[in-house]
């Protein structure tokens, strides 16, 4: 592998940009989850879900950028070769939270999309009406969301990751 040490500042800069993009997009989705808890109008629900869906692209770009540059920063700063455990713990925390967010955040939003008779793999549209029997499943899907848990997990992970990166405790 080429010597990345000379590019360490640039790599860390891009890593921080990736973090900001990732957090910004997640803020949109978190806001949607909180708003959904008090909304029952199908057209508004579809708009909120569409907003969250569109934020996923920015989140994916940010996640990829922060992940790749985080690994590269480990090489450019000799953290991988020095066997620093903080870097491995950071990677484990990132992957664990990423895996937890699917059942805690994405799947509940997909249940709301399904109750609205919206596709879960495409952005929602404003066109279709909610069938009369769907209101009970919609209500159940909305109340099944846990925005405080999701936000708490996300904020906690950001705090732990920031602490690990700044203090490099082990």
Residue 48 has what pLDDT? 96
Q: Tokens representing 162? A: 């920031």
Percent of the chain topping pLDDT 90: 78
What are the structure tokens assigned to 84, written together? 């620093």
Eight-state DSSP code of residue 7: G
Residues 114 and 128 sit within 8 Å (Cβ to Cβ): no
Residue 124 has pLDDT above 70, yes or no: no
Measure the CA–CA gap between 117 and 134, rounded to whole angstroms.
9
The fraction of the chain above a pLDDT of 70, given in percent, is 90
What's the whole-model pTM score? Answer: 0.83
Between 35-44, 49-58, 130-139, 154-163, the lowest mean confidence (pLDDT) is in 130-139
* pLDDT at res. 99: 95
Q: How far is CA 12 from CA 59, 68, 73, 90, 160, in A?
A: 18, 11, 6, 15, 18
When pLDDT is cut at 50, 70 and 90, the band that residue 135 belongs to is confident
pLDDT of residue 153: 96
What pLDDT score does 38 carry? 93
- Per the prediction, the chain carries an average pLDDT of 90
pLDDT in tens, 54-110: 998 899 999 999 999 999 999 998 887 776 899 999 999 999 999 999 899 999 999
Tell me which of 11-20, 47-56, 127-136 is least confident: 127-136
Q: Can you spell out the DSSP letters for 108-132?
A: HHHHHHHHTT--SSS---S-PPPPT
The phi and psi torsions of 114 (rounded to 5 degrees) equal -65, -40
């Amino acid at each position: 592998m080429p010597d990345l040490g000379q590019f360490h500042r640039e790599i860390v800069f891009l890593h921080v940009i990736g973090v900001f993009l990732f957090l910004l997009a997640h803020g949109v989705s978190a806001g949607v989850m909180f708003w959904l808890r008090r909304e029952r109008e199908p057209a508004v629900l579809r708009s909120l879900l569409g907003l969250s869906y569109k934020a996923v692209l920015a989140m994916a770009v940010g996640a990829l950028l922060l992940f790749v540059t985080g690994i590269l920063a480990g090489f450019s700063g000799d953290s991988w070769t020095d066997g620093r455990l903080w870097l491995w713990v950071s990677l484990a925390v990132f992957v664990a939270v990423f895996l937890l967010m699917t059942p805690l955040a994405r799947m509940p939003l997909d249940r709301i999309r399904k109750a609205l008779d919206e596709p879960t793999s495409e952005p929602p549209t404003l066109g279709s009406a909610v069938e009369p029997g769907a209101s009970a499943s919609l209500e159940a899907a909305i109340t099944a969301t846990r925005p405080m848990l999701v936000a708490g997990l996300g904020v906690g992970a950001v705090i732990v990751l920031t602490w690990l990166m700044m203090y490099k405790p082990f």
